[in-house]
Amino acid sequence: MDKIRALIVDDSSVMRKIVERSLRQAGIDLDKAVEASNGAEALLALQSNVVDLILCDINMPIMDGLEFVRQIATVESAKGVPIVMITTEGSESHVVQALSAGARGYIRKPFTPDQVKEHVLPLLGKKS
């Protein structure tokens, strides 16, 4: 598989770095990691960046992750791009809401690089 461009959306810069590192540790050949600190910034980032994968928190100020996933359906360049939620919100209701809105995966914090590998690689057409 070619190098991957990922959009990482989390209000914590530390968590964005951890997610990026976990992707690399999962064996994903990361070309570029675009960062955004909330859903609104992420929508803006998608206007000037084409990405292959989106990893997104839920609890964020300004625009939360669920709203971002709902709104991204209208972004032409992001159609078909797999979205994986990475969040502390572990309730079944949140999982259902995220998947219904269009997310393809759900990882609960705290997480290990192996969990990232297990959830993300199949979405990129790789075996975990």
Partner 1 sequence: MSTDTAFAKRSREEDWLPILELATREVFEIMLACKVKPVAQSEGKPNAGFTAMVGLAGALCGVMTVCCDAKTAGLIAKGMLGEIAESEEQVGDALGELCNMIAGNFKNKLAGTDERCMLSVPTVVSGGEYRFHSLADGNSMETIVLFEDAPVAVRLQLKD
Decide: 51 and 5 in contact? Cβ < 8 Å. yes
End-to-end CA distance of the chain: 13
Give the three-class secondary structure for 121. helix
Chain position carrying tokens 């540790």:
25
The minimum distance between CB 21 and partner 1, in angstroms, equals 6
Helix, strand, coil percent content, the chain, rounded in steps of 5: 45, 20, 35
Choice from 5, 70, 104, 109 touching partner 1 (CB under 8 A): 109
Q: Which one of 53-61, 68-76, 99-107, 118-126 is the stretch in contact with partner 1 (CB under 8 A)?
A: 53-61
The minimum distance between CB 59 and partner 1, in angstroms, equals 6
Decide: 58 and 11 in contact? Cβ < 8 Å. no
Choice from 31, 32, 44, 59 touching partner 1 (CB under 8 A): 59
Q: Please tell me the total number of residues recorded for the chain in this structure.
A: 128
Q: Which one of 8-16, 27-35, 41-49, 68-76 is the stretch in contact with partner 1 (CB under 8 A)?
A: 8-16
Choice from 1, 3, 12, 50 touching partner 1 (CB under 8 A): 12
Contact residues for partner 1 (CB under 8 A)?
Answer: 11-15, 17-18, 21, 59-61, 87-94, 108-112
